[in-house]
Amino acid sequence: MRRCDELGIRYADYGKWAIAGWHQVFLTDPDGNVVEIHQPNM
C-alpha cells in the first residue's frame, strides 16, 4: 500500500475484517482488471 501511495495508485483497503486472519486490498491494473491482494495478519 505504501508503494501504491507513492505512485498514486488508487486501491480499496478492506483491512482485517473481511476475512479473519487476512488483510485485503483491491486495485485495478492498467487494463481495468481487478487485482485482489491478501496478506496473512502477523
pLDDT digits (tens, 9 = 90+) for 17-38: 777 788 899 999 999 999 999 8
Q: How far is CA 29 from the centre of its chain?
A: 12
Please identify which residue in the block is written with the cell numbers 483491491. Answer: 26
Model confidence pLDDT, tens digit, residues 4-16: 999 999 999 988 7
Rounded Cα–Cα distance for residues 4 and 39 (Å) = 16
Q: 0.85 cut: is pTM over it?
A: no
Rounded Cα–Cα distance for residues 21 and 42 (Å) = 8
Q: Taking a C-beta distance cutoff of 8 angstroms, is the pair 41, 25 a contact?
A: no
Our count of domains for the chain comes to 1
Give me the domain span that covers residue 32. Answer: 2-40
pLDDT score, position 16 = 77
